Every structure is written in structure tokens, then in C-alpha cells.
Structure 1
Amino acid sequence: MRLDSLQQLNAARSQRVSAGLLTDLSTGEERVLFEGDALGDDVVNAFRSGRSMTVETEQGSSFLNVYLPAPRIVIIGAVHIGQFLTQMAMFAGFDVYVVDPRTAFATPERFPGAKLSPDWPADHFITNPLDRYTALVALTHDPKIDDSALVEALRAGCFYVGALGSRKTHASRTKRLMQDGFDSQTISAIHAPIGLDIGATNPAEIAIAILAEVVQSLHSPSSPLGPKR
């Protein structure tokens, strides 16, 4: 791999952009591609599946090594459940971000190792946009904080979107999201009540249920980082 190709791939990784190294099988020439480049159905399918494969371009047969962004979890709300979820998620290999404008809660002492943001979600996502390789977990129970995050997550197509709250709470949330222009099918992507139904009753157990559901979604066939066929 050429140095300039490596530099482009590293830059794409830092910016959470899907990229690939295309190598001509007859000449050995290489170039870096980015998801969205108009280079035929084979390239599009390779990026969608996350699989490295032989593709056909106008120049002939090439091999495309695909590099996808690492999975991450964005937690909205520096609450007790989030403290347990952060530590377990980092052990599981996720990058973890905690977003909460209530600065008294989102402190390094309570969330060691996590990336903390004191901004409102809508402001945070301007410089740190969500993507389909991200799981969003809304935990504040405060519509003024959670709703804007859920709106952005649905628009971005996050591989997992979950929100804390009872079915009654989610019914009210659904009405608000429909007023924002979302249809019922799109809203159904939100996991609410959040987490797998394991009978969790305390913050640590709820965090386990949430992380299990995130991992299940991550490895589902519909996930951009799921099993490849």
C-alpha cells in the first residue's frame, strides 16, 4: 500500500467515513474510494455489505478492500444506567460518548474513559454527526433532551436506536415524533421499552439488557456491521 493511500484511509477512519482501497488486478495500480463514489453496482454492493471483494469497474477487474467505521455508542443522559452501560460497552470494544447538557452529571469521575459532551444533543451532532455505524441510547426521560437526539438518530439511520421509558411514555413520544414528520414505520425502529426483556430491575441489570440488545442489533443481517454473506 502506498503511503498516500494509507494517509487517506487513516483520514477517513478519523472522520468516520467508509472507504476502500481499489487495486487493479492486472496492473496493480491502486486508489482510495469513498462510499458514494459512482463506480458501479459492484462497488456500491461492497460498501453496503462491508465485504472486501473482486469488483468490476470501467477499467476492468479490481479488488476492493473495504474499511468501515468502528461501532460506537452515543449515550444521551449521564444517569446511573449510563454509568454501568459505559463501562460494560467499553469492555465490549465500543467507543462510548456521553452527551448531557447537565454538566453536574456528566463528569470524568462518574464516566471514566468515556468521551463527554456538555452540549445539547442537537448542538453536539453538528460537529459529531451520527451515522449508521452508531447506536444511540436515550436515557434522560426528558423530552427536551431525548427527542432531538432521537430525531437525529432516525434521520441518520443508526443501526440501533433505544429510549428509556414505559409503553405509555413511548406512546407520548411517538405522537411528538409524528408531529416532527416521522411515520409510524420509521418510529418503530426505536427500541422502547429499551433493552432485552430479561426482567432487569436495577441500573446495572438494565444496562446489561441494553448492551445485549445493542450487540444483537450490531450482529443482525440488517446491520452495516453485521454478518457478511
Structure 2
Amino acid sequence: MRLRLLSDLNAERAARRAAILVTDVASGEQRFVREAEIGSDPLAEDLQESLRRGKSGLVERDGGQFFLTVQTPPVRVVVIGAVHISQALAPMAKGLDLDVTIIDPRTAFATPERFPDVPVLAEWPDAVLPGIGIDRYTAVVALTHDPKIDDPALSAALRSECFYIGALGSRKTHERRVQRLSASGFSEADLARIHAPIGLDIGAVSPAEIAVSVLAEIVASLRKERRRSA
């Protein structure tokens, strides 16, 4: 690999942007394709599918063979609320190779003992989210049921390009949430990004079942988002 290509890959990795290195198997020639440039590439369809799956591999096109080296940022799940659902969700997410961070200013809940091996920030969301950064490979999940905690996090998520926003609560709770966020200046289109009630409708009742439904919805949104960007 040429030094320039390696440098470009490292730069995209540091910026948490996806990219693909295309290698012509016959000639050994290589080119670097950023995610934003995929649509104009001759192998656009193959690149889009490889990026959606997040998998490197060999493809054949027009009589040639090309190896696609896919580089995608680790998908992050920022969970607002150190609650029982979060305790069930964190280890499940780890099994899906998702990076989880728990944020909750309530120090009685946000403890390492309740969330082993997971970063736990006992801070207000609006104080720590700017430092964490919310990008296209981030999901934001609001679970506290407390507007003082959830709303600032949802506001930050709505101002970002994150691929998923979900919030716990009944339809009536969400109607009140929408009214508050509308009063803060968010449009109907903005608020339509929020998945509420959160999670796929699987009839979940226990914290663990709700966690399953939330993670399923996150994965579905991630894969659909990559198809839409194709």
C-alpha cells in the first residue's frame, strides 16, 4: 500500500468516517474511496453493499476482480439513563460489537458496580455530549423518563447526523415531549427522527425484552441507513 493511501485511511479513521480501499487483483492498482465519494465510483453498487454490511471481500465486475477493504468506525450507542433497561442492554450491545456509553447525572444509579466494563459518566448530557461527539455512526437512546435529563440529550441528537434516536415512554409521554421540543425550535421533520415508543414492537414487557427490542431497532436503522446512503 502506498504511503499516501495509508495516510488517507488513517485520516478517515481518526475522523470517524468510513472509507474503502479498492485493489485491482490483476494489476495490483489501488484507489481510495471515501464514503461521500462512493456514488460516483465505477463500483458504486458493490461499494455501497460492502459498506452496508461492513465487510471486506472480493467482487467481480466487468471481467475483473477487485478486493474491497472496508473501514468503518465502531458504532457507538450513547445511553441516557443508568436504568434497568440499560443494565440489560449494555452486555447485549457488547455482543453485537457496539460501543456503549452510559450517561446519567444521578450518582446513585451511574456507578461502575452496576455497569461493569462500560464507560459510565455521572454527568448531565448537555455537559458531556459535546466532548463525546455525535456522528453518523452514533445511536442515542434516552431512557430516564425525566425530561430534565432526556430532553437535552434528544436536542443534541436532533442537531446531529446520528443514525438513530430513540426515547422511552408511552405515546402520550411522547406527545408532551414533542410539544416541549417543538417549543425549542425543532420542526416536525426533525421530531419525526425520534423512535418513540422506543424499540421494535415485539410485545416486550421486561427490561431485558425492551433492551432486545431497542437493539433490534438500532441494528435495523443502521443497515437501512447504509442502504439509503447508497
- TM interval, shorter chain, is 0.7 to 0.9
Report sequence identity in percent.
53
Note the residue ranges of structure 1 that are not aligned, 5 or more in a row. 54-62
Matches within 5 A, 1:113-124: 113-124=117-128
AA paired with 1:16?
A: R
Q: Cα 1:128–1:32, aligned 2, differ >3 Å: closer, same or farther?
A: farther
1:202 — aligned with what?
Answer: 206
Distance in 2 (alpha carbons) for counterparts of 1:161 and 1:217:
10
Distance in 2 (alpha carbons) for counterparts of 1:124 and 1:48:
33
Comparing 130-139 with 64-73, which one deviates more in the overlay? 64-73
Note the residue ranges of structure 2 that are not aligned, 5 or more in a row. 60-66
2:225 — aligned with what?
Answer: 223
Secondary structure, aligned partner of 2:186: coil
Which structure has the highest helix share of the two? Answer: 2
1:16 — aligned with what?
Answer: 16
1:188 — aligned with what?
Answer: 192
AA paired with 2:87?
A: Q
Q: Cα 1:188–1:40, aligned 2, differ >3 Å: closer, same or farther?
A: closer
Distance in 2 (alpha carbons) for counterparts of 1:105 and 1:158:
26
1:147 — aligned with what?
Answer: 151
Distance in 1 (alpha carbons) for counterparts of 2:20 and 2:183:
39
Secondary structure, aligned partner of 1:171: helix
Give the CA deviation at 1:64: 8.2
Distance in 2 (alpha carbons) for counterparts of 1:15 and 1:98:
22
Matches within 5 A, 1:1-229: 1-2=1-2, 5-6=5-6, 8-10=8-10, 12-21=12-21, 41-42=40-41, 50=51, 67-219=71-223, 222-224=224-226, 226=227
AA paired with 1:177?
A: L
AA paired with 2:78?
A: V
Secondary structure, aligned partner of 1:156: coil
Q: How much is the aligned-residue C-alpha RMSD, in angstroms?
A: 3.5
